[in-house]
C-alpha cells in the first residue's frame, strides 16, 4: 500500500468530517445555546486544519490529483480507518458535556454505526447535543464514503472500490457507469425520505425538533431519540406507525427503491427475491409477536399488532428504537425478538445484521448440498433473481457467517465473564455486532443504558459496532500480516 495515497485520502476524510462538525452550530445559534458553539467550532477547525496539512504532507514529494488507480487493499484500509477517525472526531464534542472519554467514544460509535445503544443516564442536555447524536446516525446510515463519492471529485473513479468496501454485499449491485451519479441519487432519495418522515411526524403531533431528530435516526436505522423513552415517550399510535413505515424502508435496498421511483412502479420492489423474503420475515415474525402479546401479555388486538410490527421491524432493520419496554414482555415474545436480531435487513440498506441475501444463499446452499447427496452427478446452480451465483461467492458468504457467529460467541462469552451476567453478554454482543441498539434485561434493555458496564465491556462493544457496520471484511483483512506492506509511492 502506498503511504502517500493513504494520507491523501485520510486527509480528505478528516477535512470534510471537520466541515460536518460545523452543522450543529446552526442549531446552537437557533436555540441560543451559545456554549455548544465552542466544541463544534473548535473541533471542526482543528479537524479541517489537520486534514489540509495531511493532504499537503501526502503531496509533498509526488503529484496526487485524484485516487483513480487506488488498489482494493488501499480502499479497504481507507474505509476502515475513515470510520475510526469519524468515530473519534464525533466523540470529542461529548467531552464538553461532562461525558468521560470511554462513554463519549461509545456514544459516538453507536451513533455513526447507527446502533442506537446509549450510555446516557439522563436527558438534561442541550438540544444541540441531541441533534449531533441524530446527525451522526444520519451520516452513518448511508455511509460517509458514499457521501464523499457523491460530492467530491477526488473520489469520482476510486469511489467504486470504496463504495463496496464500505457497504460490502454478497452480490455486487448493478450501478451506473458513473459511480458518482449513483451515490448522488442514493443520497437524494435518502434526504427526500428523511424530509418526508419529518413532515409527517410533525403533522402527527410530534414537536418539530424531535421530528427532525427522529426522522434522521429512523431513516438511518439508528434509533437515537431526544425523548428518554424513545418512541414510547410520544404515546401516539399514529407516530408509531409512521416510524414503522420509514424503518421498513430504511431496511430495504435503496438502489431497489431508486429503481422503483424511476420506473414509477412500487411493484418493482417485489421483483427482488431479497425484498420478498425481507417482507415475509417481517410479516411472520410481527404476526407471531403480536399473537404472543395478545395471548400472554394481555394487549388488545390493535396495540398488540402495533407493538409487534414496530419492535420486529426495529430489530430486524437494526434500528433499535422502542415503542414499548419489551424487557417486560413474556418469554415467547422476547425469544421472537431475539431471532429478529439475527435476521438483518436487505443489502444496500441503512440497516445492519447479516443481511437477508446472505441468509437466502446460505439456505439455498444447504438445500443444494442435500440434493447432491441424493444425486451425486447432478449439476446444481444457485440463483438469486435468475442470476447464477458463483461458487466463490457462496464460499465467501459461508466464511462471513462463520466469522460473524465466531465474533458474536467470543464477545458474548468475554463480556458475560466480565459482567458476571449472561443476559448482558449475549444480548449485548448481538445487539452491538448487529448494530441493533438495546439488549435485554433491566440494565441494557430498551429503557436501560450501557453506562454501568465495565470499561472493558464498553470497549469490546464499541469494537463490535464498528466491525458490524463495515460487515467484518475490512477489519478482518487488517488482521492479515501481508496486508501491512507499505511503500512511499
488 pLDDT above the threshold of 80: no
- Report residue 483's pLDDT band, with 50, 70 and 90 as the boundaries: low
pLDDT tens column, 209-239: 999 999 999 998 888 999 999 899 999 999 9
Q: Does residue 147 have a pLDDT over 70?
A: no
- Average pLDDT on 317-323 reads 87
Whether the predicted pLDDT of 178 surpasses 70: no
Minimum mean pLDDT among 57-61, 117-121, 265-269: which range?
Answer: 57-61
Asked if 227 and 234 touch (Cβ cutoff 8 Å), the reply is yes
Q: Which DSSP string corresponds to 415-461?
A: HHHHHT-HHHHHHHHHHHHTT----SHHHHSTT--STTS-HHHHHHH
User: What's the mean pLDDT in 329-335?
Assistant: 93
Half-sphere exposure of 29 (CA within 13 A, CB side): 7
Q: In this prediction, what percent of the chain has a pLDDT beyond 90?
A: 48
Q: Which helix (H) or strand (E) holds 291?
A: helix 273-296
Q: What is the C-alpha separation between 175 and 93, in angstroms, rounded?
A: 37
Residue scoring higher pLDDT (179 or 176): 179
3-state secondary structure of 387: strand
Per-residue model confidence (pLDDT) at position 347: 82
Longest dimension (CA), the chain: 74
**pLDDT above 60: residue 138:** yes
Per-residue pLDDT band at 398 (split at 50, 70, 90): confident
pLDDT number for residue 345: 86
Short-list 227, 200, 232, CA closest to 213:
227
User: pLDDT, tens digit, for every residue of 268-305?
Assistant: 899 899 999 999 999 999 999 999 999 999 899 999 99
**What is the crossing angle of helices 455-469 and 422-433, to 10°?**
30
State the Cα–Cα distance between residues 473 and 480, nearest whole angstrom. Answer: 11
- At residue 177, the pLDDT reads 47
User: Average per-residue pLDDT in the chain?
Assistant: 85
Amino acid at each position: 500500500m502506498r503511504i502517500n495515497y493513504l494520507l491523501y485520502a485520510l486527509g480528505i476524510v478528516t477535512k470534510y468530517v471537520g466541515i460536518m462538525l460545523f452543522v450543529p452550530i446552526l442549531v446552537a445559534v437557533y436555540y441560543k445555546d451559545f456554549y455548544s458553539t465552542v466544541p463544534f467550532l473548535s473541533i471542526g477547525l482543528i479537524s479541517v486544519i489537520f486534514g489540509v496539512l495531511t493532504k499537503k504532507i501526502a503531496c509533498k514529494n509526488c503529484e496526487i490529483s485524484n485516487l483513480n488507480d487506488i488498489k482494493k487493499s488501499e480502499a479497504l484500509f481507507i474505509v476502515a480507518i475513515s470510520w475510526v477517525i469519524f468515530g473519534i472526531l464525533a466523540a470529542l464534542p461529548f467531552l464538553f458535556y461532562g461525558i468521560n472519554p470511554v462513554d463519549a467514544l461509545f456514544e459516538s460509535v453507536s451513533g455513526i454505526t447507527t446502533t442506537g445503544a446509549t450510555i446516557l443516564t439522563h436527558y438534561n442536555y442541550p438540544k444541540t447535543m441531541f441533534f449531533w447524536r441524530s446527525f451522526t446516525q444520519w451520516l452513518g446510515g448511508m455511509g460517509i464514503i458514499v457521501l464523499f463519492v457523491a460530492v467530491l471529485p477526488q473520489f469520482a473513479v476510486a469511489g467504486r472500490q470504496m463504495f463496496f468496501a464500505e457497504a460490502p454485499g454478497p452480490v455486487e449491485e448493478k450501478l451506473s457507469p458513473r459511480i458518482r451519479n449513483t451515490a448522488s441519487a442514493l443520497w437524494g432519495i435518502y434526504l427526500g425520505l428523511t424530509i418526508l418522515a419529518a413532515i409527517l411526524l410533525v403533522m402527527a403531533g410530534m414537536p418539530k425538533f424531535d421530528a427532525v431528530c427522529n426522522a434522521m435516526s429512523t431513516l438511518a436505522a439508528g434509533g437515537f431519540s431526544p425523548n428518554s423513552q424513545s418512541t414510547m415517550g410520544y404515546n401516539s399510535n399514529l407516530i408509531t406507525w409512521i416510524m414503522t413505515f420509514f424503518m421498513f424502508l430504511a431496511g430495504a435496498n435503496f438502489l431497489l427503491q431508486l429503481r422503483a421511483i424511476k420506473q414509477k412502479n412500487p411493484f418493482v420492489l417485489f421483483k427482488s427475491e431479497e425484498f420478498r423474503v425481507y417482507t415475509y420475515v417481517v410479516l411472520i415474525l410481527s404476526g407471531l409477536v403480536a399473537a404472543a402479546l395478545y395471548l400472554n401479555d394481555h394487549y388488545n388486538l390493535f396495540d398488540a399488532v402495533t407493538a409487534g410490527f414496530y419492535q420486529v421491524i426495529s430489530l430486524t432493520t437494526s434500528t433499535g428504537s422502542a415503542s414499548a419496554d419489551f424487557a417486560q414482555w413474556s418469554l415467547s415474545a422476547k425469544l421472537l425478538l431475539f431471532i429478529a436480531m439475527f435476521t438483518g435487513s436487505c443489502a444496500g440498506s441503512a440497516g445492519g445484521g447479516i443481511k437477508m441475501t446472505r441468509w437466502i444463499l446460505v439456505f439455498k446452499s444447504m438445500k443444494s448440498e442435500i440434493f447432491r447427496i441424493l444425486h451425486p452427478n447432478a449439476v446444481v446452480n444457485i440463483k438469486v433473481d435468475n442470476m447464477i451465483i458463483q461458487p466463490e461467492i457462496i464460499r465467501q458468504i459461508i466464511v462471513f457467517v462463520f466469522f460473524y457467529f465466531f465474533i458474536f460467541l467470543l464477545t458474548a462469552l468475554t463480556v458475560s465473564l466480565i459482567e458476571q451476567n449472561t443476559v448482558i453478554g449475549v444480548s449485548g454482543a448481538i445487539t452491538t455486532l448487529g448494530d441493533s441498539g438495546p439488549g435485554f434485561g433491566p440494565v441494557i434493555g430498551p429503557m436501560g443504558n450501557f453506562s454501568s458496564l465495565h470499561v472493558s465491556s464498553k470497549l469490546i462493544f464499541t469494537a463490535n459496532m464498528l466491525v458490524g457496520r463495515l460487515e467484518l471484511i475490512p477489519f478482518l483483512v487488517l488482521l492479515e500480516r501481508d496486508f501491512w506492506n507499505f511503500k512511499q509511492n
